[in-house]
Amino acid sequence: MNDTPRPDSLTTELLSDDELHRIDGWWRAANYLTVGQIYLMANPLLREPLAPEHIKPRLLGHWGTSPGLSLIYVHLNRLIVKYDLDVIYMAGPGHGGPALVANVWLEGSYSEFYPEITADAPGMLKLFRQFSTPGGIPSHVSVPTPGSIHEGGELGYVLVHAFGAVMDNPDLIVTAVVGDGESETGPLAGSWKGIDFINPVRDGAVLPILHLNGYKIAGPTVWARHDDRDLDAFFRGQGYAPVFVEGDDPATVHRAIAAALEESVTTIRAIQRDARANGLRGRPHWPLIVLRTPKGWTGPKFVDGKPIEGTFRAHQVPVADTRNNAEHRRILEDWMRSYHPEELFDEAGRLRAEYAALAPAGARRMGANPQANGGLLMTPLALPEWQDYALHLEHPATERIGSTAVLGQYLRDIYRANPHNFRLFCPDETNSNRLGAVFEVSDRCLVSTIIPGDDHISPEGRVMEVLSEHNCHGWLEGYTLTGRHGLFATYEAFAMIVDSMAMQHSKWIEHAKRVPWRADIPSLNYLLTSTCWRNDHNGFSHQGPGFIDTIIHRKPTVARVYLPPDANCLLSVADHCFRSVNYLNLIVIDKQPQLQWLTLEEATAHCAAGAGTWPRYSRNPERPDIVLACAGDIPTQEIIAAASMLRQYLPDLGVRIVNVVDLMRLAPADRHPHGMSDEEFISIFTAGTPVVFAFHGYAGVIHDILHGRDAHERFHVRGYQEEGTTTTPFDMVVLNGISRLHLCLDVVRYVPGLLTKGAALVAECNRLLAEHEVYIREHLEDMPIVADWVWTDG
């Protein structure tokens, strides 16, 4: 679309000498404050000679990346003011926390969020003392950092968060700084392609800045040892128009980065203006900046004869032991004084007006931009009545209907009612997961060449499909962190690919709930379909319910797990999740046609309770000899089929069927907010009746959740046992010992006095299991006698 200038053309003298002086002053102030946070606990303005007692006893923090982060910050300030831009800043190298805190303090927003940290000398001292100190603030950019919606602790996600934030956010520009270490991670490498999904007509823009400072903790980065020609090719190949800035002379780099940013922002605006006026014509070539500056730039050059600036030794604390080692202390003092704090701060310790004037006003300051506290911008979803989509069951437990297909219709109408506020994220499985009804109202998004034969694909689409769980999860994080709503739907086994992202996001939410100024954000909703039990066709690699484990060990205040057994329950659960804030809501249900158990009214009551007895499928439930409990669709089917066999063979047996939708209801009330009281637990599971429990995931999950209940000896849990291959659905439940036959054998085993009365049932179960084995050995199709069993009342 537009060709951006090559490096050698970046000589434009954009900055007046005065501007340069003021920008450099702000930058020096930010660097000074960064060093101060790492080192000082007194004498913040160095108005006395530096003494040992001014220095913290424990030195923590990362200097290496910080000067680069501050350089970008101050130059963005200039452009925000010049063009009245709506910009937020994401620091991929989030360990450069003190740099971001320094800039936010300089612009004044820090003191608005934290009035005790005033914008003067006493505030500066508190700023220094609190950093990376018990009871203070973390060393990384994190939840308490104004202006941030990206924790840079676990590297790799800055671009996915940035792209998610700008979707349906047409005026927003996210400046995403990517560290060259971070760029070695898989998730980051896979996230450059975000531009193939950004439509300048309706979306904002991401400006990636690859910050090459050469080293990680100890080794050189891969990219640092490739030349500019390689980097240029790499980025052009992906559709970017890269601009290079390199140097170690501050004035030169100031001028070059100012030109590069000016060029980039102008290009972004031109792309957007053109697309919005004339329509989209092909994928734009979005700008990207490669910034090569020394690691630990402006820091000590040598310590103990070893080079520091520009080497891996500048990564964290570049000069150590400054309390005891006078020479080191002198290096520190010289270093700090090289920024000339006396020029930068006035008598009161305030940033002098000439520099302070660089900050944008009010909410344009990056630390105060509401996009970085996205809950402020949240509008609740306009949700259709879920009841309108419910199945009207004439004969429950007889017909097989795909539940996710029903949900698809509900999602379609959520799209319809929320045209700029809701997206579905899925690794190319929307149809496979039977949610295809959404394509009636929205296409798959692809901002690239569309060719005849493509199915529901356009740059206007809002169904986000990319074969990358990392992109899907990260985009949805960015979307919800800026106040919008969505759903991540994926094959169950492959959710574990984003275990770590789920953990980190749960930590964000948990932490945010404790930071008073952070507004609630929409929950991150997961739908896991194509579950282990029904990946009989894809085989062992596709069978893994481990994501439930990941979610249940999140802080109980933020994690929810739902296992709706049928379509009506799924609708009710989805409605509940879409209304919630500040949770990770995990919903697990298979996509295949499945038996439907509950009417609309029954599902409403059952989901409201989260767990309860199903009288329709029980016999003498008031005086049960056995409680048959289940959580999950296939376990529910097997439990009810077992009840059917029991009714046939042991007609006098009292059988209470219990289904659990909201898994955490099983937890003791003091361990999870959804946990039920002991009274309720007993009312459902009785005080002493044996319980045979069929669970969707690993049995250990139930052992863990039930811990603390008076339930240990009498609960017999069966779940997925890491057994499977390409086989039939029934063989899957047999292989894992959760079939109706195994459950019936358990009942005979655990209900006292059934050994004789149950002999015929035991014989029949063993006969069927043996027959099944023969059948499997002979490579036949599903064993009809078992596959076709359904519940018939009576």
Closer residue to a copy of itself in complex, CB, 168/465: 465
Closer residue to a copy of itself in complex, CB, 338/504: 504
Q: Say how far apart CA 173 and CA 699 lie, in whole Å.
A: 47
Q: Say how far apart CA 497 and CA 544 lie, in whole Å.
A: 11
Options 362, 419, 539, 615; binder of a copy of itself; rule CB under 8 A: 539
Q: Does 53 bind a copy of itself (CB under 8 A)?
A: no
Options 66, 142, 618, 739; binder of a copy of itself; rule CB under 8 A: 142
DSSP state for residue 183 in the 8-state scheme = G
Options 701, 744, 747, 762; binder of a copy of itself; rule CB under 8 A: 701
Q: Does 750 bind a copy of itself (CB under 8 A)?
A: no
Place of tokens 């603030």: 137
The CA distances from residue 583 to 556, 561, 575, 576, in Å, are: 10, 10, 14, 11
**Contact status, residue 493 vs residue 535, Cβ threshold 8 Å:** yes
Q: Does 499 bind a copy of itself (CB under 8 A)?
A: yes
Q: Does 696 bind a copy of itself (CB under 8 A)?
A: no
Interface residues for a copy of itself in 476-495 (CB under 8 A)?
Answer: 493-494
Q: Is the dihedral of CA 35, 41, 47, 51 positive or negative?
A: negative
Options 3, 115, 116, 237; binder of a copy of itself; rule CB under 8 A: 237
Interface residues for a copy of itself in 302-331 (CB under 8 A)?
Answer: 307, 310-312
Helices vs strands, H then E, count in the chain: 26, 22
CB 155 → a copy of itself: shortest distance, Å? 7
Options 47, 236, 395, 767; binder of a copy of itself; rule CB under 8 A: 236
* Overall size of the chain counted in residues: 794
Q: Say how far apart CA 294 and CA 274 lie, in whole Å.
A: 38
Q: Does 400 bind a copy of itself (CB under 8 A)?
A: no
The region of 211-219, 337-345, 572-580, 608-616 touching a copy of itself under the rule CB under 8 A is 211-219
Residues near a copy of itself (CB under 8 A), total:
129
Q: Does 453 bind a copy of itself (CB under 8 A)?
A: yes
DSSP state for residue 236 in the 8-state scheme = H
Q: Does 794 bind a copy of itself (CB under 8 A)?
A: no
Q: Say how far apart CA 304 and CA 328 lie, in whole Å.
A: 8
Q: Is the dihedral of CA 615, 617, 620, 623 positive or negative?
A: negative
Closer residue to a copy of itself in complex, CB, 513/757: 513
Q: Does 554 bind a copy of itself (CB under 8 A)?
A: yes
Q: Does 234 bind a copy of itself (CB under 8 A)?
A: yes
Q: Say how far apart CA 195 and CA 446 lie, in whole Å.
A: 9
**Contact status, residue 688 vs residue 714, Cβ threshold 8 Å:** yes
Q: Does 156 bind a copy of itself (CB under 8 A)?
A: yes
Interface residues for a copy of itself in 767-786 (CB under 8 A)?
Answer: 775-782
CB 177 → a copy of itself: shortest distance, Å? 16
Closer residue to a copy of itself in complex, CB, 518/576: 518
Q: Does 497 bind a copy of itself (CB under 8 A)?
A: yes
Q: Does 355 bind a copy of itself (CB under 8 A)?
A: no
CB 260 → a copy of itself: shortest distance, Å? 19
**Dihedral in degrees, nearest 10, Cα atoms 451, 456, 457, 462:** 170
Could you give phi then psi for residue 87, rounded to 5 degrees? -125, 135
The CA distances from residue 494 to 488, 530, 667, 727, in Å, are: 12, 10, 27, 20
Closer residue to a copy of itself in complex, CB, 125/595: 125
The region of 20-28, 82-90, 727-735, 747-755 touching a copy of itself under the rule CB under 8 A is 727-735
Options 36, 44, 147, 239; binder of a copy of itself; rule CB under 8 A: 239
Could you give phi then psi for residue 393, rounded to 5 degrees? -85, 115
